[in-house]
Structure 1
Amino acid sequence: MKSQYDETLSCIDNSSWSHNVEMNQTDQITFTALQDGSLGYQLLENENYLYFLGQQYRIKQADKDDSGYDYHREVTTTHIRFDAQYVYQYEKHKGSWTVGPADLMSFVFDQNELGNHGFTWSIIGDPPKVEVTDYGEKSGQDCINDCCEKFNMVVTADNKHIYLTVMEQFVKKINLSFKYLNNTPEFKTSIDTTELQNIAKCYGKTKEKEEDNTSSDSGSDLSDTDVDTTDIATKDASADDDTEYYFEPFIVRDEESIKEWGERPGPPIIDERFTNPEAMRQYALATMKSEPEVQMSLSYTGDEPLSLGNMVYAIIRPENFETWVTVTAVKTNALSWHSDPEISLNNKPQNLVDYEVALQKSIQLVKGHLSGIGRSLSAVDTLANNAWGMGTITKKVGEVHDRN
């Protein structure tokens, strides 16, 4: 931690090594260290540094686990870029402010009274500017997260130099395909409709609240880029009918989602800062989870190294699934020659569309097979024609006859 000692680690259990990188989320190394009497083992303490492939990681956990004669430590480290949480801007830029990512990064990293702790940064691309209000009281990590969210950017780093790249320039197609049972022995897809919502009632700013709070900004018409989703509250839609609003509460519907999945009403969306109904409507449409969560992952046995943002064509024959996918997370063990990388893929709406197309292909194949053997097609026809409109998949699996 004070740069007094450095030592090559001979104490690592190679099979335990895991380097996990996830787009805009994680860059972490974990491993088990075995007590071998080395200086390196003793240096595995909280806040000391680990160096791997030219990058610096800070030890955040070094749990001692001694049982009998088995002495070892479970070590977790995070990339030094996450030390941006210790850069802090206590001031606020008062009022409305039209900004790009460079404006926010400069304000938080370069214009605070505590300094930037050695961090530098670069912006790659020129995303459209957005409006923010009273921006400040943020850490450097908060600012990076804001840039990724507001400008659709990806953060990468070379030690303490931060790169923020617009998504369109970060994602690149490569000459590689994932082929099931060729270089992809495992492929998993999960579609979760648990939190699906495509109808909500919207409540904006109340006039009573404006009169009681003279410090609030009554003239702001906020768009969806101004509001953090953590500011949303929920309440009983039947509360105080005498409340006066700047616009009448209204119901918003995501018709595309309703067409696909049926009506899925959910909790009201309330934000006291909205005085413009159209801005409120756009924000509600962006806030509701009107599409299911799609998670895709696979293991990869090929020789081509994969990086975040690589676009690869996936061919999964048993599922009739073919589409472009983007690598969003890579988990590797560089210390074990027989360990295959675990790859996570993007969960964009297009993947869901491609998956639905694959399902329809599978249905048609089943229909053709049943027709060839003279079986009734009534059940599978129902599945093909009606299931997607209801947002559920059903099939006939048997019959129960009442003896009476």
Structure 2
Amino acid sequence: MDKLLVRGLKRTEIEPLGLSSLDPDSFYITWAMNETWQLQFTARDDGSVAYNMLDDESSVFYDGQEYIVKQCIPDFVDGTKAKDVVATHVYNEASRIRKYKQYIDTSDPSSGQSTNVKANPDDTGSSGDNSSVTQNGNTTITKTDEGDNQENQIWYSLEDVLKYYLDGNSLGFTYQIIGNFGKSRIEQLQDGNGTDMLSKIVEHWPNAVIFPDNRNIRVYNIDDFEKDYGNRLDYEYNTTEFKLTYDSTSLTNEVFCVGAKYSVETETETDSDSGNSSGAGAQAVIADAKKYLGVPYKYGYGRPVGTANPYNGMDCSSFVSRVYYDFGINIPAYTVAMESYGHEISRDQVQTGDMGFYGSKGASHHICLALDNNTMIYEPQPGEVCKTEPISYYPPTWWERNDDMAKIVAGGSSDDSGGASTSTSAEYYYFAPFWVKDLDSINKYGEHPLEQIEDERFHDANSMRQYALSQLQPEPSLTVEVTTYTHMKPIPGDKIHCMIPDGELSTNLAVVGFDWYPLSETNYSVFTLNTNAQNILDYQASQRNDLNKAFSQISKQSIAITNIANNTSEGNGAWNETEVKAFDNSKRS
């Protein structure tokens, strides 16, 4: 049997705790997939170094894994001294890893602020793909993809998430990915801790299993996690109880699907000199802004403006601030602070050098720069570069004009008239909303609708159909809890062959949780096993067999009643005493 080892907080010695000092019935390990991994025990004072090192935040080692003591409760009873210990697996210490937003000190003169307030840095909104632009005289028709305009949503791989939180950590955490995972759309990673990392993995990759080896965070695809180790659980052979819970609470077999939309905007110019883009001043601003085309988006880069090399990377606000700086205009490189450096104008007044803000006033999170009344230039989001787009492609929430920039654009005099235009727009779905139904399930159980799915990621109906099918639960769930006769050591993910006689159940189920008492003579291992579609069909087949047997028995009794009735001595259907006794005996037999 493995020894229990103890290392005190901020100590290097590792000492064994005598098994004789442990209450064997209190010593157990509980594990539930993606939820819990915990060790508990009661130890009596044996005067050893190990016992005296047991305290909050000390480490205990068992079966090759480290646990951190979170509760150590001294207990004085019946003339003895003991400690009740609860320890969690060391991987939970990832909660101590923290990531922080980059904060800008606005008292720094290079920031362009004179106040001592510290504000949150700007966040970026992600934009979609411009599908098409056609021009007809002074009329521009733009098809704008609305599906990807979700604020702060970015596509991440599983490795991106792990690297963001774990790279360079000082607690010794590493990671492994076992199996294949696609990318998922997640709110931009900016701050949080290791617990947030684990939650994001489970939420956005439902087929992921987090099963660490001490401080090595291993993430498995469930198909790679579940393996057959040749174990078997037979009712009344090596188990005392098989508890099967058949639950239709979460049954769903149909869902209404709504995919992405796009808008078609028709904009007609009423001024051929729209946007004040033809003057020498405007052309100078346009040329200056365009020299940064291709510079990669890097969050927090480009500061302090005027000192940092802009070609190493910029984010949305440092880019706009840099263009202004190039013309001797100092404005801060933070969207909320930039709001006070202009006055609001209407959409049809927009001209070269105007600033387009995204979000609500006082909490803007993204910014672009107008090249003219129809075109903007901006740093979009991580993974992209500075580029130009039609304004209608990703229209700002509101526009502002800085009078100093307006004078430069006008060549020495402010001109707020700008170019005028009229526009109309209409929204269309890439495909008509539709129902996805599992007809086999509906025929068996009736209609059980899932809440409507509206997902702007999908431009293709078939892709959304496959996704929707994966969200349905067309069969009731089946959970199995098994109590063993033995101290059989559970193996997480072990696909155990389970057998209940008389055809009740014969199938393979994987271990997804357990309570393991390796030292107790009275408490035995309890396994929680998963189920899949085939397991449920096996269970349903056994239920049908039992039902058929019951109907068969009723049928036999009905035949017996009919025979007695048809053979009465009176011939008129009335039973005499002898016939009644005969029927009674047939029921008992």
Asked if Structure 1 and Structure 2 have the same fold, meaning a TM-score greater than 0.5 normalized by the shorter chain, the answer is: yes
Tell me the CA shift for residue 146 of structure 1: 3.7
Gaps of 5+ in 2: 1-8, 102-122, 127-152, 263-357, 367-425, 562-589
Question: CA 1:39/1:212 → structure 2, altered by over 3 Å: closer, same or farther?
Answer: closer
CA displacement 1:281-327 (0-9 Å, x = unmatched)? 66665555554332101123368644111112211114621111111
Does residue 346 in structure 1 map to residue 346 in structure 2? no
SS class of match (1:352)? helix
Contact 1:28 1:78 in 2 (8 A): yes
Contact 1:205 1:245 in 2 (8 A): no
Question: CA 1:184/1:67 → structure 2, altered by over 3 Å: closer, same or farther?
Answer: closer
Percent identity over the alignment?
26
Structure 1 partner of 2:17: 9
Q: Distance in 1 between matches of 2:560 and 2:165?
A: 67
Worse-matched range after superposition: 99-108 or 9-18: 99-108
Amino acid at match of 2:178: I
TM-score by length of 1: 0.70
Contact 2:487 2:524 in 1 (8 A): no
What aligned pairs does 1:2-401 form with structure 2 within 5 A after superposition? 2-3=10-11, 6-10=14-18, 11-66=21-76, 69=79, 71-90=81-100, 95=126, 98-110=155-167, 115-125=169-179, 127-136=180-189, 137-148=191-202, 150=205, 152-199=207-254, 253-265=437-449, 268-269=451-452, 278=461, 286-287=470-471, 290-301=474-485, 305-318=489-502, 320-372=504-556
Q: Distance in 2 between matches of 1:108 and 1:246?
A: 40
SS class of match (1:263)? coil
Tell me the CA shift for residue 69 of structure 1: 4.5
| Number of residue equivalences | 344
Q: Distance in 2 between matches of 1:269 and 1:66?
A: 58
Q: Distance in 2 between matches of 1:14 and 1:55?
A: 19
Gaps of 5+ in 1: 217-243, 378-404
SS class of match (2:31)? strand
Question: CA 1:212/1:306 → structure 2, altered by over 3 Å: closer, same or farther?
Answer: closer
TM-score by length of 2: 0.50
Contact 1:186 1:298 in 2 (8 A): yes
Contact 2:211 2:217 in 1 (8 A): yes
Q: Distance in 2 between matches of 1:35 and 1:376?
A: 73
Tell me the CA shift for residue 334 of structure 1: 1.5
SS class of match (2:17)? coil
Tell me the CA shift for residue 188 of structure 1: 0.5
CA displacement 1:192-240 (0-9 Å, x = unmatched)? 2234344556678999xxx986869xxxxxxxxxxxxxxxxxxxxxxxx
Contact 1:120 1:161 in 2 (8 A): yes
Q: Distance in 1 between matches of 2:208 and 2:28?
A: 26
Tell me the CA shift for residue 109 of structure 1: 1.1
